[in-house]
Structure 1
Amino acid sequence: MRCRKAHQGHLATMVVMGVLFSGCARQGPPGGSRPKNAVTDTTRAVVPLTPEMLIGSWTLVDVADPGAGKILRLADSDLHLIGSRCGTLGGSWRANDEGVFLADIWSASTAVVEATPGCAKASQETPGWLRSVTAYQFDGAGMPVLLDGRGQAVAQLIPGATPTPEPDKAESVLEPPVVTDEARRALAPAVELPATLVPADQHQPMGRWTPKSGHKAAYLEFTTDGEWHASDGCNDQTGRWVTAAGGTLLATARPTTLAFCADSVPIDQWLTTARRAGLDGNVLVLLTAHGDEVGRLSPTN
């Protein structure tokens, strides 16, 4: 079978892994407490939650896991965790102007995976500290702080990090990320749900759903550990998800096979383009940032 080219740019020698993530004791159900819309102190101006300001190469400070990595590089939808015990890990991220943040790691350098015990597994798992992150804020100095579902700081991001060149590290990873038009579109604010829909809270999406039309084998399942699993009818798909107030839904999707079958349903594309989720009776409706409907799914009894 052919493999779909990931939307994210990543290391040329990455090994893409599609294995399910393990659980994390620090990770609660998706969603949780949402941060305030701005951070203030008595001497500085209000710092608005602008997700474009997260794009950059950041030195990680105050991360509980000392082997978690030294640099977090966020560019467009690409994420690289650099300087971990397993070298450079790659994946994707999502954020919005309501302070919601989601990260997903699913690849690593082939050379490191083959040479370092335990790194094959690490290349398939988002580190526990990063799995626990569901939100972000900016401190009084305008520096990003990553937060867990309880609003507790998980890591401070300091700008200006410079990755060290390595033989298996792509040059693109060494370059400072810039805000592109693609990133602006991906991070644009989402319109509110239509009044005809009830915002889906963090518990309502959980469980198994089937598309209203398309291949009879297609399905989508949200699990309590922040994972989603699906099939378009003939290809398994997986990723991570998080919800917040107002029906906010952010999701990542990992690379998958691309076997052809008639009437396949692009569940992964539905989720990665969706920014809101609402209920029309018991039907789950996914909408883009512009409020365009991308998919409808019915609960599976």
Structure 2
Amino acid sequence: MKVRIALATVLALALAGCAGDGPNAPVDPAAPADTGPISLVGLWTVADAGEEAGTVLRIAPKKQLSLWRTCGALTGSWAAAQDLFLGELTSGGENCQPVENPSWLRDASGYQSVGDTKILVDRNGKQLARLVPGGKPKVGSGVDPAEAAPPVITDEDRAELTRTPQVPATLTRVEPTQIVGRWVPVAAGGRAYVEFKDDRTWTGSDGCNGNGGRWTATGSSMLATAGPSTLIACDGAPVPAWLTSTAAAGLADGVLVLLDPTGAEVARLKKG
């Protein structure tokens, strides 16, 4: 009898071990949780921000951002680094006009993690909003439900969102105070320029089209978002596209060098 019980126990343990390797295996509680920008991807209920109950912020790969209110959705873009976050709403349905960035999003420069909750903070670390995991956007007629579904992260997205730009040793660390001011492309850019303001907004032009947005930086990391722009053909320089592609920056003999998430050089700017 003891031999039968022992064999049954061994068989049960073996079957349990096999089941744990299957597609429905439980998540290992000791596995490290995602951190950094990838941890922001998802559906978040916005709390403590003065929003109407049930407002949901959807943060998706490819810099897709949408804020879901009773009127519908406002859409835009986002950018993030390890502790930095920027969001910019640029368009919305006719029921959500005019398109305005709420103060909690407009002033957000970073984020903190408290358990599963994300805290958006301004440049001084003041709390602006709590993002609580989960939430179900109110989808109106004529809207593709996929636009409000929980975002899916592909292997390509994961690689992009977990990539840390490598700043070349030839560049020196740049502080936010050194970025403030007016800059022009080192290469010929006509009347193209960008002016970084101390309040973390920027204005500029590709030489024909005016634009603006927000920026933030710390250490070697630098991020920027851009608002809507006219589309006049121009022989200047694509300054707004440069800024929204930037993930890091450094100085080389007073020249501001912008780098993308892979560490590749985007552009060089000099004080103008």
- Distance (Å, rounded) in 1 between the aligned partners of 2:149 and 2:51: 25
Per-residue displacement from partner, 1:173-226 (whole Å, max 9, x unpaired)?
A: 322211135533542332342222122211111111110113321111112232
Corresponding position of 1:279: 251
Say if 2:111 is the partner of 1:136. Answer: yes
8 Å CA contact retained: 2:119, 2:128: yes
Corresponding position of 1:108: 92
8 Å CA contact retained: 1:209, 1:297: yes
8 Å CA contact retained: 1:55, 1:73: yes
Aligned identity (percent) is 40
Amino acid corresponding to residue 109 of structure 1 in structure 2: G
Corresponding position of 2:206: 232
8 Å CA contact retained: 1:69, 1:83: yes
Corresponding position of 2:59: 74
Higher relative contact order (CA 8 A, sep 6+): 1
Q: Superposition RMSD on alpha carbons, in Å?
A: 2.4
Per-residue displacement from partner, 1:133-190 (whole Å, max 9, x unpaired)?
A: 22223223x3323233233433222222111221354433322211135533542332
Structure 2: give runs of 5+ residues left out of the alignment: 1-29
8 Å CA contact retained: 1:95, 1:102: yes
8 Å CA contact retained: 1:190, 1:288: no
- Distance (Å, rounded) in 2 between the aligned partners of 1:233 and 1:68: 43
| Matched positions, count | 242
Corresponding position of 1:210: 184
Cα offset for 1:231? 1.5
Corresponding position of 2:233: 260
Cα offset for 1:128? 0.8
8 Å CA contact retained: 2:45, 2:54: no
The one of 220, 234, 251 equivalent to 2:194 is 220
Structure having the higher Rg: 2
- Distance (Å, rounded) in 1 between the aligned partners of 2:53 and 2:231: 32
- Which has the larger share of helix? 2
8 Å CA contact retained: 1:145, 1:153: yes
The one of 118, 121, 124 equivalent to 1:150 is 124
Structure 1: give runs of 5+ residues left out of the alignment: 1-43, 114-119
Amino acid corresponding to residue 80 of structure 2 in structure 1: A
